[in-house]
Protein backbone atom coordinates (compact mmCIF):
# COMPACT_ATOMS: atom_id res chain seq x y z
CA UNK A 1 0.00 0.00 0.00
CA UNK A 2 1.29 3.44 -0.92
CA UNK A 3 2.54 5.51 2.01
CA UNK A 4 3.27 9.21 1.69
CA UNK A 5 5.39 11.12 4.19
CA UNK A 6 5.93 14.85 4.46
CA UNK A 7 8.79 16.53 6.27
CA UNK A 8 8.83 18.80 8.17
CA UNK A 9 5.43 18.61 9.88
CA UNK A 10 5.60 22.34 10.61
CA UNK A 11 7.75 25.19 9.36
CA UNK A 12 7.99 28.83 10.38
CA UNK A 13 9.91 31.29 8.20
CA UNK A 14 10.28 35.07 7.94
CA UNK A 15 8.60 36.81 5.03
CA UNK A 16 10.66 36.87 1.85
CA UNK A 17 12.50 33.65 2.48
CA UNK A 18 12.65 30.86 -0.11
CA UNK A 19 11.65 27.45 1.22
CA UNK A 20 11.37 23.79 0.27
CA UNK A 21 8.75 21.29 1.39
CA UNK A 22 9.51 17.61 1.06
CA UNK A 23 7.32 14.66 0.14
CA UNK A 24 8.32 11.01 -0.15
CA UNK A 25 6.31 8.00 -1.30
CA UNK A 26 7.01 4.29 -1.01
CA UNK A 27 5.63 2.94 -4.31
CA UNK A 28 7.15 4.55 -7.39
CA UNK A 29 4.39 3.19 -9.66
CA UNK A 30 2.35 6.37 -9.50
CA UNK A 31 0.20 7.96 -12.20
CA UNK A 32 1.04 11.48 -11.08
CA UNK A 33 1.63 13.57 -7.98
CA UNK A 34 -0.35 16.57 -6.87
CA UNK A 35 0.37 19.35 -4.38
CA UNK A 36 -2.49 21.01 -2.52
CA UNK A 37 -2.94 23.90 -0.15
CA UNK A 38 -5.42 23.74 2.72
CA UNK A 39 -6.43 26.67 4.88
CA UNK A 40 -7.68 25.85 8.42
CA UNK A 41 -11.01 24.01 8.35
CA UNK A 42 -11.32 24.40 4.58
CA UNK A 43 -11.17 22.22 1.51
CA UNK A 44 -8.16 21.60 -0.71
CA UNK A 45 -6.91 23.91 -3.45
CA UNK A 46 -4.84 22.26 -6.15
CA UNK A 47 -1.48 23.97 -6.68
CA UNK A 48 0.45 21.79 -9.10
CA UNK A 49 0.07 18.40 -10.75
CA UNK A 50 3.11 16.58 -12.10
CA UNK A 51 2.58 13.67 -14.47
CA UNK A 52 4.75 10.60 -13.89
CA UNK A 53 6.65 11.36 -17.10
CA UNK A 54 7.47 14.92 -16.03
CA UNK A 55 10.29 16.20 -13.83
CA UNK A 56 8.80 19.50 -12.69
CA UNK A 57 5.96 21.97 -12.94
CA UNK A 58 5.92 25.68 -12.25
CA UNK A 59 3.17 28.13 -11.38
CA UNK A 60 4.15 31.64 -10.38
CA UNK A 61 6.33 31.48 -7.28
CA UNK A 62 5.78 27.73 -6.93
CA UNK A 63 7.90 24.99 -8.44
CA UNK A 64 7.33 21.29 -7.86
CA UNK A 65 9.77 18.56 -8.82
CA UNK A 66 9.30 14.82 -9.08
CA UNK A 67 11.87 12.03 -8.90
CA UNK A 68 9.91 8.83 -9.30
CA UNK A 69 12.87 6.49 -9.00
CA UNK A 70 13.77 7.80 -5.56
CA UNK A 71 10.15 8.30 -4.49
CA UNK A 72 10.50 12.01 -3.81
CA UNK A 73 8.88 15.30 -4.66
CA UNK A 74 9.65 18.81 -3.48
CA UNK A 75 7.63 22.00 -3.50
CA UNK A 76 9.72 25.15 -3.74
CA UNK A 77 8.14 28.44 -2.72
CA UNK A 78 10.04 31.58 -3.68
CA UNK A 79 9.87 34.87 -1.80
CA UNK A 80 7.35 33.64 0.76
CA UNK A 81 4.49 35.91 1.85
CA UNK A 82 2.21 35.85 4.93
CA UNK A 83 -0.63 34.82 2.62
CA UNK A 84 1.26 31.59 1.91
CA UNK A 85 0.59 30.47 5.49
CA UNK A 86 -1.42 27.23 5.22
CA UNK A 87 -1.00 23.46 5.32
CA UNK A 88 0.55 21.98 2.18
CA UNK A 89 -0.37 18.44 1.26
CA UNK A 90 1.16 16.20 -1.36
CA UNK A 91 -0.73 13.27 -2.81
CA UNK A 92 0.39 10.41 -5.03
CA UNK A 93 -2.18 9.13 -7.49
CA UNK A 94 -2.59 5.37 -7.75
CA UNK A 95 -2.06 3.86 -11.21
CA UNK A 96 -4.78 1.29 -10.93
CA UNK A 97 -8.51 1.14 -10.40
CA UNK A 98 -9.99 4.34 -9.12
CA UNK A 99 -6.75 6.26 -9.49
CA UNK A 100 -7.35 7.59 -6.01
CA UNK A 101 -5.00 9.88 -4.14
CA UNK A 102 -2.79 8.82 -1.24
CA UNK A 103 -2.10 11.85 0.93
CA UNK A 104 0.68 12.77 3.31
CA UNK A 105 -0.15 14.38 6.63
CA UNK A 106 0.96 17.79 5.42
CA UNK A 107 3.41 20.53 6.32
CA UNK A 108 1.96 23.45 8.26
CA UNK A 109 3.67 26.60 7.01
CA UNK A 110 3.68 29.91 8.87
CA UNK A 111 5.21 32.95 7.17
CA UNK A 112 5.99 35.67 9.70
CA UNK A 113 5.59 39.28 8.52
CA UNK B 1 -18.27 27.40 -14.27
CA UNK B 2 -19.61 26.26 -10.89
CA UNK B 3 -17.16 24.63 -8.49
CA UNK B 4 -17.72 21.68 -6.19
CA UNK B 5 -20.20 22.38 -3.41
CA UNK B 6 -21.01 20.37 -0.31
CA UNK B 7 -23.80 20.47 2.24
CA UNK B 8 -24.21 20.88 5.09
CA UNK B 9 -21.14 22.81 6.23
CA UNK B 10 -21.27 21.50 9.77
CA UNK B 11 -23.19 18.68 11.39
CA UNK B 12 -23.44 17.29 14.90
CA UNK B 13 -24.76 13.76 15.40
CA UNK B 14 -25.00 11.28 18.25
CA UNK B 15 -23.25 7.91 18.28
CA UNK B 16 -25.41 5.26 16.62
CA UNK B 17 -27.26 7.70 14.36
CA UNK B 18 -27.13 7.84 10.58
CA UNK B 19 -25.97 10.78 8.45
CA UNK B 20 -26.15 11.80 4.80
CA UNK B 21 -23.69 14.24 3.28
CA UNK B 22 -24.19 15.78 -0.14
CA UNK B 23 -21.91 16.90 -2.93
CA UNK B 24 -22.57 18.70 -6.16
CA UNK B 25 -19.87 18.08 -8.74
CA UNK B 26 -18.22 20.69 -10.88
CA UNK B 27 -20.11 21.21 -14.11
CA UNK B 28 -19.28 18.56 -16.71
CA UNK B 29 -17.52 16.19 -14.31
CA UNK B 30 -18.66 12.54 -14.26
CA UNK B 31 -16.54 11.14 -11.42
CA UNK B 32 -16.77 11.86 -7.71
CA UNK B 33 -14.51 10.70 -4.90
CA UNK B 34 -15.07 10.98 -1.16
CA UNK B 35 -12.35 11.41 1.44
CA UNK B 36 -12.30 11.47 5.25
CA UNK B 37 -9.85 13.82 6.94
CA UNK B 38 -9.36 13.39 10.68
CA UNK B 39 -7.89 16.29 12.62
CA UNK B 40 -4.19 16.70 11.88
CA UNK B 41 -4.18 13.97 9.24
CA UNK B 42 -4.21 13.86 5.47
CA UNK B 43 -7.43 12.87 3.68
CA UNK B 44 -8.13 9.14 3.37
CA UNK B 45 -9.88 7.75 0.30
CA UNK B 46 -13.34 6.32 1.04
CA UNK B 47 -14.70 5.48 -2.43
CA UNK B 48 -15.21 6.76 -5.93
CA UNK B 49 -18.20 6.77 -8.26
CA UNK B 50 -18.06 6.91 -12.02
CA UNK B 51 -21.26 7.19 -14.04
CA UNK B 52 -23.37 6.11 -11.02
CA UNK B 53 -21.32 2.96 -10.27
CA UNK B 54 -18.83 2.47 -7.44
CA UNK B 55 -15.42 2.44 -9.10
CA UNK B 56 -13.09 1.80 -6.20
CA UNK B 57 -13.10 1.73 -2.42
CA UNK B 58 -10.62 2.42 0.33
CA UNK B 59 -10.30 0.66 3.67
CA UNK B 60 -13.68 1.70 5.10
CA UNK B 61 -16.41 -0.59 6.47
CA UNK B 62 -19.71 -1.21 4.62
CA UNK B 63 -21.57 1.21 6.90
CA UNK B 64 -20.00 3.88 4.66
CA UNK B 65 -22.02 3.85 1.46
CA UNK B 66 -22.65 6.21 -1.39
CA UNK B 67 -24.73 7.13 -4.38
CA UNK B 68 -24.14 9.08 -7.54
CA UNK B 69 -27.12 10.49 -9.40
CA UNK B 70 -27.68 11.00 -13.15
CA UNK B 71 -26.75 14.67 -12.78
CA UNK B 72 -23.48 13.45 -11.17
CA UNK B 73 -24.29 14.85 -7.74
CA UNK B 74 -23.45 12.45 -4.94
CA UNK B 75 -24.27 11.38 -1.41
CA UNK B 76 -22.19 9.80 1.31
CA UNK B 77 -24.17 7.85 3.90
CA UNK B 78 -22.75 6.67 7.19
CA UNK B 79 -24.75 4.32 9.40
CA UNK B 80 -24.25 3.49 13.07
CA UNK B 81 -22.02 6.50 13.68
CA UNK B 82 -18.99 6.06 15.92
CA UNK B 83 -17.00 8.71 17.75
CA UNK B 84 -14.05 8.09 15.39
CA UNK B 85 -16.22 9.12 12.46
CA UNK B 86 -15.77 12.73 13.58
CA UNK B 87 -13.83 14.34 10.73
CA UNK B 88 -13.93 16.66 7.75
CA UNK B 89 -15.52 14.88 4.79
CA UNK B 90 -14.34 16.06 1.41
CA UNK B 91 -15.69 15.28 -1.99
CA UNK B 92 -13.78 15.81 -5.19
CA UNK B 93 -14.99 15.70 -8.77
CA UNK B 94 -13.11 15.02 -11.96
CA UNK B 95 -13.65 14.21 -15.61
CA UNK B 96 -12.45 10.67 -16.19
CA UNK B 97 -11.76 11.23 -19.87
CA UNK B 98 -9.16 13.93 -19.26
CA UNK B 99 -5.52 13.14 -18.66
CA UNK B 100 -4.25 13.34 -15.10
CA UNK B 101 -7.57 12.61 -13.35
CA UNK B 102 -7.12 15.96 -11.66
CA UNK B 103 -9.62 16.27 -8.87
CA UNK B 104 -11.30 19.47 -7.71
CA UNK B 105 -12.26 19.51 -4.06
CA UNK B 106 -15.25 20.99 -2.30
CA UNK B 107 -15.04 22.93 0.99
CA UNK B 108 -15.95 19.87 3.06
CA UNK B 109 -18.52 18.96 5.69
CA UNK B 110 -17.36 18.97 9.31
CA UNK B 111 -19.05 16.06 11.12
CA UNK B 112 -18.92 15.85 14.90
CA UNK B 113 -20.15 12.67 16.59
CA UNK B 114 -20.87 12.94 20.31
Q: Please state, in angstroms and as integers, the Cα–Cα distance from residue B86 to each residue in B11, B45, B60, B105, following that order.
A: 10, 15, 14, 19
pLDDT of residue B30: 87
| CB–CB contact B55 A91 (8 Å) | no
Three-class DSSP labels, A53-99: CCCEEEECCEEEEEECCCCEEEEEECCCCHHHCEEEEEEEEECCCCC
Q: Is B45 on the interface with A (CB under 8 A)?
A: yes
Rounded to 5°, the CA angle B87-A86-B11 comes to 25
CA-CA distance, B15 to B1, in Å (whole number)?
A: 38
- In chain A, what are the helix, strand and coil shares in percent, each to the nearest 5? 5, 60, 40
Beta bridge pairs of residue B44: B36
Radius of gyration of chain B (CA): 13
Smallest CA–CA separation between B16 and chain A, in Å? 25
- Regions of chain B where pLDDT drops below 50: none
Q: Which 3 state secondary structure label does DSSP give A18?
A: coil
Q: Which tens digits make up the pLDDT trace of A54-87?
A: 999 999 999 999 999 999 999 999 999 999 999 9
Backbone angles phi, psi at B39, to 5 degrees: -60, 125
Q: Which residue of B has its CA nearest to A90?
A: B42
pLDDT of residue A98: 60
Q: Which tens digits make up the pLDDT trace of A4-43?
A: 999 999 999 999 999 999 999 999 889 899 999 999 888 8
Q: Is B40 on the interface with A (CB under 8 A)?
A: yes
CA-CA distance, B63 to A98, in Å (whole number)?
A: 20
Smallest CA–CA separation between A14 and chain B, in Å? 24
Q: Which residue of A has its CA nearest to B55?
A: A98
Amino acid sequence: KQEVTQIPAALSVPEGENLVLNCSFTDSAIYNLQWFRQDPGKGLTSLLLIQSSQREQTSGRLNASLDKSSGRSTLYIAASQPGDSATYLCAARDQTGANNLFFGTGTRLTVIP
Amino acid sequence: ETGVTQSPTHLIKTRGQQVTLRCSSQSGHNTVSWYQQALGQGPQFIFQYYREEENGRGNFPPRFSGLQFPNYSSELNVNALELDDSALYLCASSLAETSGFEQYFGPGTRLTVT
